[in-house]
Amino acid sequence: MPSRIRSTADRAASFSKESVMKILTAPRMERCIGCHSCSLACARLVHGLLSWDAAGIRISSSGGLSTGFEARTCLACLPAPCVAVCPTGAYSQRKGGGVIVKKALCIRCGECARACPVDAVFLDPSGGPFVCIHCGRCAAFCPHDCLEHGEVETRGPRENDVPGRAS
């Protein structure tokens, strides 16, 4: 299966023909030391808070220190299951995949978190949702260059389309 991340030459050749968007990926997690700098950068720079509960990216052990760490972020599903179950319209589909969250509309029911197939919608202690918005601000704060914010081709919605899963 070819990678969705496109080369500079590919982007230049097809820029006028199709839309591109950026998503956050974690292609080099074998370098991760579990410092959580990315989570704290997200919380502070994106959400204006200094709490690990207020980040759209979470780092966790993959089963012990000797097995490394994994980053959990929104996979930019298209269509996004969290959008479909939100009863107030607080979640809306981002063009090309992922979501936009209008926190003022959120009633903190947690349906978005339950619907996420990769557990990438995080709820703070009061039930407020935090999800990666693919802004890439966290990537610059990773001391080991584990994260990447790159362009991908936009695609049309397909039934049960979740990146990383076989269709």
pLDDT digits (tens, 9 = 90+) for 39-57: 999 999 999 999 989 999 9
- 58 lies in the same domain as 84: no
95 domain residue, yes or no: yes
The first and second tokens of residue 69, run together, are 């760490």
CA distance 133 to 21: 12
For residues 144 and 97, which has the higher predicted lDDT (pLDDT)?
A: 144
For residues 22 and 1, which has the higher predicted lDDT (pLDDT)?
A: 22
Tell whether the model's pLDDT for residue 23 goes beyond 60. Answer: yes
9 domain residue, yes or no: no
Tell whether the model's pLDDT for residue 62 goes beyond 90. Answer: no
Classify the phi-psi angles of 125: left when phi > 0, otherwise alpha if psi is within -120 to 50, otherwise beta.
alpha
- 50 lies in the same domain as 93: no
For 9, the enclosing helix (H) or strand (E) is helix 8-14
Which residues are CB-contacts of 166 (< 8 A; sequence separation ≥ 6)? none
Helix (H, G, I), strand (E, B) or coil at 155: coil
Tell whether the model's pLDDT for residue 60 goes beyond 70. Answer: yes
Q: What is the pLDDT of residue 155?
A: 56
pLDDT in tens, 65-109: 678 999 999 999 999 999 999 999 999 999 888 899 999 999 999
- Residues 116-127: what's their mean pLDDT? 95
For residues 96 and 58, which has the higher predicted lDDT (pLDDT)?
A: 58
Q: Name the band, by pLDDT with cuts 50, 70 and 90, for residue 123.
A: very high
- 121 lies in the same domain as 45: no
The first and second tokens of residue 121, run together, are 């919608």
137 domain residue, yes or no: yes
For residues 19 and 18, which has the higher predicted lDDT (pLDDT)?
A: 19
CA distance 147 to 143: 10
List the domain range (segments joined by +) for residue 25.
20-73+132-154
Helix (H, G, I), strand (E, B) or coil at 23: strand
- In which residue are the tokens 């080991």 written? 144
- 110 lies in the same domain as 148: no
Q: What CATH number corresponds to the domain at position 61?
A: 3.30.70.20
- 46 lies in the same domain as 87: no
- 43 lies in the same domain as 123: no
CA distance 77 to 160: 9
Tell whether the model's pLDDT for residue 159 goes beyond 70. Answer: no
Average pLDDT score over the chain: 84
Fill in the amino acid letter for 112.
C
Tell whether the model's pLDDT for residue 34 goes beyond 60. Answer: yes
Q: What is the pLDDT of residue 21?
A: 84
State how many domains the chain has: 2
7 domain residue, yes or no: no
For residue 93, the tally of other CB atoms under 10 A from its CB is 17
